[in-house]
């Protein structure tokens, strides 16, 4: 695996990969890699001739009071994991490489930018859209791989790709979970053992929702009431948002329909966790 940190090096290396191996798949990450990231690489590996990954903790997607400075950085382990997954090229730029001091262009996906996580984290999706647009222009992949766990992010990025006519196929990959159901996340390592146990309330709520819908529940309002009761059983977990939305527009839907997205964000201690489920068809 070649590791590069400048844009010129990426361009040269990707040109060679295109010639030697054909299609290029791209997996952007913020590092602190886990099995969820690795599954994205495996899916990219299966679909593309070459795989490029990036590790960049993007400052513009963190709010001023968020965890940018303490976000886990485990570069040596990450390199070993990507090497083991046969990644061809890793792009790990410095902040100054991605954002020159006078950088003044921002990609804003209007409408979607302030829904779900965008409502709780103002400006977050502008940072995500801007960095991913830049990474797409730098790497110029044929396809890019994103996790279902960040469903709102995927909706924002799909819209951006469509609106800006970016020639990148967007591939959505399933959420990878711990054995007990907790969605894998780089932020899980912030949890104390007791918080780790409490964090399972997100998974319990999603399972209750799935069972209720399979048993015929069609009203989002009633479903959400039931899920708030599940959260009440774990009073240390605080709901940030809990919503049934259209997976493309992120707008609330009143009737539970096949394909609607149940999305949740909750604080466990000071750690904010997200998870979601594409709801099954009603009975």
Give me the active site residues, please. Answer: 37
Nearest CB to ligand AMP, comparing residues 5 and 281: 5
Helix (H) or strand (E) holding 9: helix 7-21
Contacts (Cβ under 8 Å, ≥6 apart) of 223: 209, 212, 213, 217, 244, 256, 262
CB of residue 183 to ligand AMP, shortest distance in Å: 5
Nearest CB to ligand AMP, comparing residues 1 and 176: 176
Nearest CB to ligand AMP, comparing residues 29 and 130: 29
CB of residue 177 to ligand AMP, shortest distance in Å: 7
| Strands of the sheet with 271-278, listed across from one edge | 237-245, 261-268, 271-278
CB of residue 173 to ligand AMP, shortest distance in Å: 6
Q: Output the six-digit token pair for 220.
A: 């989002």
Query: Which DSSP letter does residue 280 get?
Result: P
CB of residue 37 to ligand AMP, shortest distance in Å: 5
Nearest CB to ligand AMP, comparing residues 185 and 271: 185
Within 10 angstroms of residue 99's Cβ, the number of other Cβ atoms is 16
CB of residue 73 to ligand AMP, shortest distance in Å: 11
CB of residue 157 to ligand AMP, shortest distance in Å: 9
Nearest CB to ligand AMP, comparing residues 27 and 224: 27
Cα distance from N-terminal residue to C-terminal residue, the chain: 49
Nearest CB to ligand AMP, comparing residues 38 and 113: 38
Token look-up 């590092």 returns 31
Question: 275 with 202: CB under 8 angstroms?
Answer: yes
Q: Name the residues that contact ligand AMP, by CB under 6 A.
A: 29-30, 36-37, 39-40, 146-147, 149-150, 173, 175-176, 183-186
What DSSP string describes 234-278?
STTEEEEEEEEE-TTT--B-SB--TT-EEEEEEEETTEEEEEEEE
Burial 144-167 (b: 16+ CB within 10 A, else e): bbbbbbbbbbbbbbbbbbeeeebe
Burial 105-121 (b: 16+ CB within 10 A, else e): eebebeebbbbbbbbeb
């Amino acid at each position: 695996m070649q590791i590069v940190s400048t844009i010129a090096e990426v361009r040269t290396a990707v040109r060679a990969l295109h010639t030697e191996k054909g299609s290029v798949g791209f997996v952007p990450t913020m590092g602190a890699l886990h099995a969820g990231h690795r599954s994205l690489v495996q899916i990219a590996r299966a679909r593309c001739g070459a795989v490029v990954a990036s590790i960049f903790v993007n400052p513009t997607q963190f709010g001023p009071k968020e965890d940018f400075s303490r976000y886990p950085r485990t570069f040596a382990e990450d390199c070993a994991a990507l090497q083991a997954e046969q990644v061809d090229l890793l792009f790990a730029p410095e902040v100054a490489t991605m954002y020159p001091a006078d950088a003044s262009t921002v990609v804003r996906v209007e409408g979607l930018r302030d829904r779900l996580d965008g409502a709780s984290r103002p400006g977050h999706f502008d940072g995500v859209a801007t960095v991913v647009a830049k990474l797409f222009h730098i790497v110029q992949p044929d396809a890019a791989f994103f996790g279902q766990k960040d469903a709102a992010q995927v909706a924002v990025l799909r819209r951006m790709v469509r609106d800006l006519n970016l020639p990148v196929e967007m591939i959505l990959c399933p959420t990878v979970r711990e054995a007990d159901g907790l969605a894998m996340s780089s932020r899980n390592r912030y949890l104390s053992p007791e918080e780790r146990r409490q964090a399972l309330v997100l998974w319990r709520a999603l399972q209750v929702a799935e069972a209720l819908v399979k048993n015929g529940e069609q009203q989002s309002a009633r479903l959400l009431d039931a899920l708030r009761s599940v959260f009440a059983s774990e009073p240390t977990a605080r709901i940030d948002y809990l919503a049934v939305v259209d997976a493309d527009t992120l707008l609330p839907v009143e009737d539970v329909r096949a394909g609607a997205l149940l999305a949740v964000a909750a604080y466990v201690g000071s750690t904010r966790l997200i998870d979601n489920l594409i709801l099954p068809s009603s009975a």
